[in-house]
């Protein structure tokens, strides 16, 4: 009978162990539950909340009667080398990322970061990471896959984040070839007392990154020259092209942030003069880039639509 009761109790005990492991990062020493951060807690789509655990568990800050996320006197920042100027990324570029969590008087810090595509997926079991993340400091950072199979989170390790007033964490990110990138970053500033504590504060940063289209200076070409008018364009955009050798003529329109808008033309052009007219009356006012190619040569030209 005793053996039967013990066997019946095993599922309950194992459930408690799992619950504890998902309970809280509260920056204590060895033995603190979830001391390496919590996957699915940076506030991205379909997640249980942030490090203050809006999903019901007690953790940091607001969930135990403390300040709301971002209401504390500290901050979380994300910087990179090279810089993500204007929240634009260069497709395929390797970026050295630094997360810094700061708050005067706090004794240990942690973070979680997810860099996701623009699919809008709410399924935390799907890995929709944009680009590729590489750990460069295994002592202080690691990659955690939510529930062992899904979304990738970069977090602190048990050894990471012991510092007064601020701590920094580094990793590398290789940007994708295209597409909007959504960064979900959460930072913890804690008092290191190994408890779910109202004095711990959570900070969030959620930039949206778009690919950068770099204009190629206009120059005389052995293969083709092109001009666009009127400036600015209104209902119609006109292109005048002089082709030296027969080739495939392709024209694509991009937003100022590098997002593809539409294809304007694709055809074989014979040698000689060519004129093309394209409706732009349905496009929002603003600045755009034309990317044109013929044969093995390419051109970029900035245009304005009013």
Give the pLDDT confidence score for residue 54 in this predicted structure. Answer: 54
Phi-psi map region of 19: left, alpha, beta (phi>0 left; psi -120 to 50 alpha) = alpha
Q: Among 63-67, 78-82, 207-211, where is mean pLDDT lowest?
A: 63-67
Q: Residue 34's pLDDT band (boundaries 50, 70, 90)?
A: very low
Give the number of C-alpha atoms closer than 13 A to the C-alpha of residue 245, restricted to the C-beta side. Answer: 8
pLDDT 10s digits, 136-195: 899 999 888 755 557 788 989 888 889 999 999 999 998 988 899 999 998 889 888 877
Residue indicated by tokens 């109202």: 198
Residue 284 tokens read as: 């929002």
pTM for this structure?
0.59
pLDDT for 62 beyond 90: no
Q: What DSSP element (H or E) covers 12?
A: helix 2-21
Q: What is the dihedral of CA 83, 86, 92, 94, to 10 degrees?
A: 20
CA distances from 90 to 83, 179, 258 (A): 10, 11, 10
Domains of the chain: 21-211 (2.60.40.4060), 224-305 (2.60.40.2550)
Q: Residue 209's pLDDT band (boundaries 50, 70, 90)?
A: very high
User: Are 171 and 135 within 8 A, CB to CB?
Assistant: yes
pLDDT 10s digits, 66-111: 788 889 999 999 999 888 988 999 888 889 999 999 999 999 998 9
Residue indicated by tokens 């209104």: 234
DSSP 8-class letter at 169:
E
User: Are 230 and 102 within 8 A, CB to CB?
Assistant: no
Helix, strand counts (H, E) of the chain:
1, 18
């Amino acid at each position: 009978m005793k053996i039967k009761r013990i066997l019946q109790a095993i599922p309950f005990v194992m459930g408690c162990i799992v619950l504890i492991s998902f309970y809280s990062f509260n920056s204590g020493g060895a033995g603190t539950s979830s001391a390496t951060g919590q996957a699915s807690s940076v506030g991205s789509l379909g997640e249980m909340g942030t490090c203050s655990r809006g999903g019901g568990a007690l953790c940091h800050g607001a969930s135990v009667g403390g300040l709301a996320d971002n209401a504390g006197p500290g901050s979380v920042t994300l910087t990179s080398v090279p810089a993500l100027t204007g929240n634009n990324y260069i497709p395929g570029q390797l970026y050295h990322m630094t997360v810094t969590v700061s708050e005067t008087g706090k004794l240990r810090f942690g973070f979680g970061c997810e860099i996701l595509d623009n699919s809008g997926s709410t399924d935390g079991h799907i890995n929709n990471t944009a680009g590729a993340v590489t750990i460069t400091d295994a002592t202080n950072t690691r990659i955690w896959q939510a529930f062992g199979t899904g979304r990738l989170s970069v977090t602190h390790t048990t050894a990471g984040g012991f510092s007064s007033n601020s701590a920094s964490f580094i990793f590398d990110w290789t940007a994708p070839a295209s597409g909007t990138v959504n960064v979900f970053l959460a930072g913890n500033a804690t008092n290191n007392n190994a408890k779910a504590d109202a004095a711990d504060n959570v900070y969030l940063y959620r930039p949206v990154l778009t690919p950068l289209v770099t204009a190629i200076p206009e120059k005389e070409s052995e293969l083709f020259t092109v001009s666009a008018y009127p400036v600015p364009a209104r209902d119609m955009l006109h292109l005048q092209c002089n082709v030296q050798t027969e080739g495939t003529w392709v024209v694509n329109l991009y937003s100022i942030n590098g997002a593809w808008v539409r294809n304007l033309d694709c055809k074989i052009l014979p040698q000689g003069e060519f004129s093309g007219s394209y409706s732009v009356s349905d496009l929002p006012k603003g600045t755009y880039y034309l990317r044109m190619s013929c044969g093995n040569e390419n051109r970029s030209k900035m245009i304005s639509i009013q």
